[in-house]
Structure 1
Amino acid sequence: MDVTEFEELINRLGEDLSLWPDDRRLPAQELLARSSAAQALLDEARALRDALAAPAVRAPTGLADRIVAAAAKMRGDAAEPRTEGETAGS
């Protein structure tokens, strides 16, 4: 087994080698023992699984309202309304 085949198997079978069929798991374990590239692929796949399994990140309560209020303040929504074609300098 080479690193390319190992990567394809991780993508297809997952990063838990104990779930792989024996005829694929044993060559994969041999490759891992001698290849830092294969080990890096396995580590990356495990990190990805952990990241996807983590709880979703939620914005603090009221954040969207504070952003909208700040944007409105920056735009100067409190300024006098302009007529069509009028610019800030006119």
Structure 2
Amino acid sequence: MQGALLLADIIEPGFSLTGALFMLTCYMMPALFGRDQQNGRTIFFLNLLLGWTLIGWFYALHLALKLSPTDQEAAASHGFWRHRNNLIS
């Protein structure tokens, strides 16, 4: 008697582990980007608990990539950013 063909029979075991690690890394990307920020724990827990919703994942990514006030001042004092802002406005 022939059994059902399972996906695990087709794909090598190492591939599924690699795929799972890749998906976990993509899921935790906002936490990885925001780990050096002042609110790094908030970003981590927001991503962990609400990252499964796309809104929670994108909000965590937004918080992780948002510049801190000191970084905004440094960027504003740089001539390139002033020129770029003049082009936009």
Q: Do these two structures clear the TM 0.5 threshold for a shared fold by scoring above it? A: no
> Which is bigger in relative contact order (C-alpha 8 A, separation at least 6)?
1
Question: For the pair shown, which has the larger CA radius of gyration, 1 or 2?
Answer: 1
In proportion to residue count, which structure has more helix? 2
Q: State TM-score, norm by structure 1.
A: 0.29
| TM-score, length-scaled by structure 2 | 0.29
